[in-house]
Amino acid sequence: MKSIGVHLMWDIHKVESDIISYEKDIAPVMEHIISLTTLSIENYSSKQFEPVGVTSIYLLSESHLSIHTWPEHGYLAIDLFSCVPIESDKITEYLKTLYQSEDVKMTQVMRGKSREMDTK
């Protein structure tokens, strides 16, 4: 069965809170993730929570990249949805190294799968 795109999701636990608390530290991470792909940035929006925590999203020509952080739990969630193939291993290794965590789980879902698409 064909799919329309791939949805990659990373759950990262046991992260030092000070490196995921503020937007100024999150934006460069997201930009580096995008640089590991062939994706194109269209727009960016971010919400800094008080006292800490961030939700940021990049609108991409090929879909989106979002991140949500919970510094008080040492946890962040990253979603990348794309209609073009992504080398997820490079991104996963980057995140493990950056956050010095072995508790990084990546889930991949092929979106829009349909038997009807195979006949067109």
CATH of the domain at 36: 3.60.90.10
The pLDDT of residue 2 is 76
Domain presence at residue 103: yes
Does a structural domain hold residue 118?
A: no
Beta strands at 63-70 and 75-82: parallel, antiparallel or unpaired: antiparallel
- Which residues have a Cβ under 8 Å from the Cβ of 119 and sit 6 or more positions away? none
Walk along the chain (120 residues) and give the pLDDT tens digit of each residue. 578 899 999 999 999 999 999 999 999 999 999 999 999 999 999 999 999 999 999 999 999 999 999 999 999 999 999 999 999 999 999 999 999 998 999 999 999 876 555 445
Residues 65-88 as b/e (b if ≥16 CB within 10 A, e otherwise) read bbbbbbbeebbbebbbbbeeebeb
Q: What total of structural domains would you count in the chain? A: 1
Annotation says 63 is catalytic? yes
Out of 68, 73, 101, 114, pick the active-site residue: 68
Range(s) of the domain holding residue 25: 5-113
Query: Is 120 a member of any domain?
Result: no
Kindly state whether residue 32 falls inside one of the protein's structural domains.
yes
Task: Give the pairing of strands 104-111 and 75-82.
Answer: unpaired
Per annotation, catalytic residue among 46, 83, 88, 101: 83
Q: Is 83 a catalytic residue?
A: yes
